[in-house]
Chain A
Amino acid sequence: MSQELKVELEGVSKEAIGGVIDQEELESVGAPPARVGFWVFIAGEVIILLSLIASSIYFRLTYPHWHETSTFTNVVISTINTFILLTGSLMAVLAHHFAFADAWKKARRFLLLTMLCGLAFVGMKTYEYSLEIHHGFYPNTDPFWMFYYTITGIHGLHVFAGACILFGVWLYVRKTKSKYAVENAALYWHFVDLVWLYIFPMFYLT
């Protein structure tokens, strides 16, 4: 390998490792890779969660006691949780808005508020589970409770992961001021909110 080519390749690899690719420059020619990559991730997650929801719909159609069992779920707590998630979505979109406006103090404040919404949701959900278990409803009680615990449990884990991600991004942007990190954290939050919009009526309202 010639010396010139070697130097050139070393330069390229250093650039790649150093993450010199400017996301803003790429914004002018197309969507930045960080955003496209995150949407690929969200697409995968959507398929997993919607497939679970679809399989529960089949059980709902074939299991005759689904409706009467669903009346034992707690509508008040779940409505409060819906309010918390929607409020979190507003906080997340405001964090994104202020990050892109370079108002980092406000952006970080709203990131923290979104994270608190996530923790409040997980706290309420844990309390709700404790009430249901206290009343003798376990995952092996019947198909309704099996799907209920599986789907709401997976969703709850996603909300908790979202809260951890938001905290991580809150720390990360203090120095880096990376608006794409804020954007992706907000996108993740909206995704968990969006899934809940279908879980809520499925197990609590119908």
Chain B
Amino acid sequence: MQAEHQDHLSVAFYVKIYVLLLILTGASVASSFLLRDVVSASVVVGLILVLSTVKALLIALFYMHLRYEKIPVRVWAYSAIVIFIILFILVLPDGIVNLKR
């Protein structure tokens, strides 16, 4: 983390992020029960995955300080996601074939 960002990342800021994470977790659990009979299962799964991604971003950007990191660190952090996406796309045709069986 760069030194100039040390000051404004206060304890209160971290607690606010924590409260937001708890609210999003509550929303995930509530939506899995309340929306189950209202909308299709794929919509519920999609919504919960979006909420999980928002939570993951909050942790990565603010708790892991990626937002304030220099380029070398960011490159390594994002490279894992890129490699994972490539791996996922490589095996995707196999999954689609299995689905159609």
Contacts and interface: CB of A to CB of B under 8 A. Distances in A.
Interface of A: 27, 30-31, 35-36, 39-40, 42-44, 46-47, 50-51, 54, 57-58, 61-62, 67, 75, 79, 82-83, 86-87, 89-90, 92-94, 97, 100-101, 186-187, 190-191, 193-194, 197-198, 200-201, 205-206
Contacts of A36: 72-73, 76
Interface string B30-73: 00100000000100110011011001100110111000011011
A157 to B, nearest CB: 19
Contacts of B73: 31, 35-36, 39
B34 to A, nearest CB: 12
B14 A93 contact: yes
Given A46-B84, A197-B55, A205 B14 contact: no
Nearest to B49: A201
Q: Is the interface of A mostly helix, strand, loop or mixed?
A: helix
Given A31-B72, A205-B28, A206-B32, A62 B81 contact: no
Contacts of B45: 201, 206
A170 to B, nearest CB: 19
Contacts of B60: 190, 194
28 contacts: A27-B3, A31-B69, A39-B76, A39-B77, A43-B77, A50-B80, A51-B84, A54-B84, A57-B95, A58-B94, A58-B95, A58-B98, A82-B25, A83-B25, A86-B21, A86-B22, A90-B14, A94-B14, A190-B63, A190-B64, A194-B56, A194-B59, A198-B56, A201-B28, A201-B49, A205-B32, A206-B45, A206-B48
Contacts of B63: 89, 92-93, 186, 190
A42 B80 contact: yes
Q: How large is the interface on B (under 10, 10 to 19, 20 to 34, 35 or more residues)?
A: 35 or more
Given A87-B18, A200-B28, A201-B51, 11 more contacts: A27-B3, A46-B80, A47-B87, A58-B98, A83-B25, A89-B59, A197-B56, A197-B59, A201-B28, A201-B45, A206-B41
Contact of A83 (B22, B64, B70, B95): B22
Nearest to B31: A205
Contacts of A82: 25
Contact of B83 (A47, A191, A206): A47
B52 A42 contact: no
